[in-house]
């Protein structure tokens, strides 16, 4: 019988320690997979750097939630994903992926 996959959502404001908590969990649980929501930002490369502060990175539409849901579902079924990486300098996804 396969071990049941559990999904834990950690929420909070920017700089509140979400990543720190996730890393600590990963130290304790060996088969823990960390899926940062930041990796699922939609491209904002159409906005120049001078105006990027006007882009609302906190709005739900800023994220590719469909892809995130698909990846969580895939992982829950013990399959691998190619997790995107977000380039905050150029405000778009990188061409490389994290394999989980």
Helix ranges (DSSP H) in 43-99: 65-76
CA 78/CA 60 separation, integer angstroms = 27
Please give the pLDDT value at position 49.
67
Helix ranges (DSSP H) in 1-100: 18-28, 65-76
Q: Does pLDDT of 1 surpass 80?
A: no
Domain ranges of the chain: 35-99
Question: What pLDDT digit, counting tens, does each position of 3-58 carry?
Answer: 788 888 898 877 889 989 998 998 998 888 888 888 998 888 767 666 777 777 77
Please give the pLDDT value at position 48.
67
Please give the pLDDT value at position 90.
81
pTM higher than the cut 0.85: no
Q: How far apart are the first and last CA of the chain?
A: 22
């Amino acid at each position: 019988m396969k071990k049941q996959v559990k999904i834990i959502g950690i929420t909070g404001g920017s700089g509140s320690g979400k990543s720190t908590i996730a890393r600590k969990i990963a130290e304790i649980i060996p088969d823990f997979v960390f899926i940062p929501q930041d990796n699922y930002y939609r491209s904002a490369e159409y906005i120049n750097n001078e105006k990027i502060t006007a882009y609302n990175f906190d709005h739900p539409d800023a994220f590719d939630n469909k892809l995130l849901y698909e990846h969580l579902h895939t992982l829950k079924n013990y399959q691998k994903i190619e997790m995107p990486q977000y380039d905050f300098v150029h405000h778009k996804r990188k061409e490389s992926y994290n394999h989980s």
